[in-house]
């Protein structure tokens, strides 16, 4: 018996050694450079995830090994424009991996989490027209955005002009996205001080969400099992929860499904008069179309749009205002002030807010937003994909189902493309001595191809209108120690911040807003 056990262990050990040797020396990926520990086991990259250092580590590996780096037995990260076109270009065939399952809602997939190109495309057709730039700049949607901007300025005055902008900008983005997605059936009033709506923001601020994300990605079945236990086993399981109940997004998802239930109960006339995203989806409901989607599908889709429209916009706005407010960046702020104060009175709405269609055409403002998105992309980490067949990516043969990815964080910090890549410098986008065409090829804040961020034009309209309105009325400066302390935002498993600063404060940013003298004709 002991001989049989020893033989089994010997066989298993030999199989493991063979697998490790094959992975490092004989795998089709063995020719791709990278540190050997990463090619041996997925645990090495999972460790970086746990430390909250994945994205910065991958960027460092690219600086050391080049544009293609093997970061797992079956995973490769790229950092080049040829790879960008091959993996994420229209018609590439590369599909999303199981990583995106963590973004499902109510047990249903949505446009963002569908793996295949067809599933994604079929869902996108239902509402893509609502997110088109022409639709966003139409009077109804533009007026909604301008109304939220007016409310934000009123909140600044009410708060005494020294503001903790991480919170207030989240109120702005939440009010805008709920109005856009749900209309009168679910729009929030955070900017007006409604506490039950503001409480929804607390749902995404727990730092424990990073730990839960890590477990959900690396141990999905165990995590699902852990949270499903009840009774005595459930009491024991609670001691090991990565994040105690309620978990991330619980409140927002509850709010989202209630809004969908309210819409579902509304009269046919009320539904017909709505222009929100939910009304677009309802036209594909099973009661309207054979083989259509059901109530839960609509709720899951809308919940994803709601969540996608909060942090992405508010975090970018926060970093933009903070960057312009730092003492060393006053010249950039003044250039922006000069541009937005040149907007004529005829290009303001009745409340004195710059019209969204006008702010969309401001060149220096566009440069400021581009530079903010370059350094502080709202989703800076890798975006994993795989292909069911072999493919050549940037000169390397990639076997079927290999996980490949690119990170905006690494693309945007390539020193061969962006001079002084860690420096905030909006002027680079308007500098004739710079290769701006090449920079634009490497700019990837909104992804690309068929999976490009569908909310890009909505986010840009919100940002251009709010920033224009703020800097027509105020100048800003950092306060509360934020001159050389960076605000931090929660990513998938890590905190993102400006690495050139001496410190970081997660989910906090303090700025003083100083009124300007009234300009002629304003």
Residues comprising the binding site for heme?
Answer: 453
**Can you say how many angstroms the Cα of residue 293 is from the centroid of all Cα atoms in its chain?**
26
Separation of alpha carbons 205 and 489, rounded Å: 9
Q: Are strands 162-164 and 385-386 parallel, antiparallel or unpaired?
A: unpaired
Separation of alpha carbons 462 and 451, rounded Å: 21
Q: Are strands 503-506 and 485-490 parallel, antiparallel or unpaired?
A: parallel
Q: Which of 327, 342, 354 is nearest to 477 (CA)?
A: 327
**Can you say how many angstroms the Cα of residue 252 is from the centroid of all Cα atoms in its chain?**
17
Residue 289 tokens read as 């179309």
Residue 313 near residue 338, CB atoms below 8 Å = no
Report CA torsion sign: 220, 225, 227, 228.
Answer: positive
Binding residues are 453
Burial of 266 (0-12, 13-18, 19+ CB in 10 A): middle
Q: Which of 103, 282, 281, 278 is nearest to 179 (CA)?
A: 278
Q: How far is CA 198 from CA 70, 170, 189, 191, 303, in A?
A: 43, 9, 8, 8, 17
Separation of alpha carbons 79 and 417, rounded Å: 12
Q: What angle do CA 200, 491, 247 make, to 5 degrees?
A: 45
Q: Which of 407, 413, 499, 492 is nearest to 71 (CA)?
A: 407
Residue 355 tokens read as 């019209």
The single-letter DSSP state of residue 518 is P
- Total residues found in the chain within this entry: 522
Separation of alpha carbons 358 and 341, rounded Å: 12
Q: Are strands 396-398 and 385-386 parallel, antiparallel or unpaired?
A: unpaired
């Amino acid at each position: 018996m002991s001989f049989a056990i020893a033989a089994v262990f010997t066989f298993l050990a030999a199989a493991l050694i063979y697998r490790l040797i094959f992975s490092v020396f004989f795998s089709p990926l063995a020719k791709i450079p990278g540190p050997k520990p990463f090619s041996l086991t997925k645990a090495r990259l999972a460790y970086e995830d746990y430390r909250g250092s994945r994205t910065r580590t991958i960027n460092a590996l690219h600086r050391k090994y080049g544009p293609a780096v093997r970061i797992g037995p079956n995973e490769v990260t790229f950092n080049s424009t040829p790879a960008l076109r091959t993996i994420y270009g229209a018609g590439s065939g590369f599909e999303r991996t199981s990583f995106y399952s963590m973004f499902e809602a109510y047990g249903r997939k949505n446009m963002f989490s569908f793996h295949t190109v067809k599933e994604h495309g079929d869902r996108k057709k239902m509402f893509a027209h609502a997110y088109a730039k022409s639709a966003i700049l139409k009077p109804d949607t533009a007026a909604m955005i301008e109304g939220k901007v007016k409310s934000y300025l009123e909140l600044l005055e009410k708060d005494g002009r020294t503001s903790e902008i991480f919170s207030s900008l989240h109120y702005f983005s939440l009010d805008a996205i709920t109005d856009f997605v749900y209309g009168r059936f679910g729009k929030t009033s955070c900017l007006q001080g409604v506490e039950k709506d503001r409480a929804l923001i607390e749902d995404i601020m727990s730092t424990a969400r990073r730990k839960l994300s890590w477990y959900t990605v690396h141990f999905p079945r165990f995590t699902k099992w852990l949270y499903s236990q009840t009774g005595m086993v459930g009491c024991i399981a609670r001691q090991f929860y990565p994040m105690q109940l309620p978990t991330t997004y619980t409140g927002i998802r509850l709010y989202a499904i209630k809004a969908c239930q309210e819409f579902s109960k509304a009269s046919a006339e009320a539904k017909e008069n709505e222009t929100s995203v939910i009304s677009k989806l309802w036209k594909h409901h099973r009661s309207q179309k054979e083989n259509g989607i059901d109530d839960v599908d609509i709720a899951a889709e809308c919940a994803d749009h709601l969540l996608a429209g909060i942090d992405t916009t508010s975090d970018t706005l926060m970093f933009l205002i903070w960057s312009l407010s730092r003492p060393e960046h006053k010249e950039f702020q003044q250039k922006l002030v000069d541009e937005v104060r040149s907007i004529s009175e005829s290009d303001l709405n009745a409340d004195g807010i710059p019209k969204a269609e006008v702010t969309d055409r401001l060149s220096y403002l566009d440069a400021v937003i581009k530079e903010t998105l370059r350094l502080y992309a709202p989703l800076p980490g890798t975006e994993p994909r795989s292909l069911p067949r072999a493919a050549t990516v940037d000169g390397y043969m990639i076997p079927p189902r290999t996980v490949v990815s690119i990170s905006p964080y690494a693309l945007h910090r390539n020193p061969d493309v962006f001079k002084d890549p860690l420096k905030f410098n909006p002027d680079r986008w308007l500098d004739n001595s710079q290769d701006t065409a090449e920079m634009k090829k490497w700019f990837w804040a909104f992804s690309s191809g068929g999976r490009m961020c569908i909310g890009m034009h909505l986010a840009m309209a919100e940002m251009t209108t709010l920033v224009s309105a703020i800097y027509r009325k105020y100048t800003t400066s950092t306060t509360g120690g934020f001159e050389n302390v960076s605000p931090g935002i929660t990513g998938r498993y890590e905190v993102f911040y400006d690495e050139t600063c001496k410190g970081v404060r997660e989910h906090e940013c303090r700025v003083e807003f100083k009124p300007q003298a009234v300009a002629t004709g304003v």
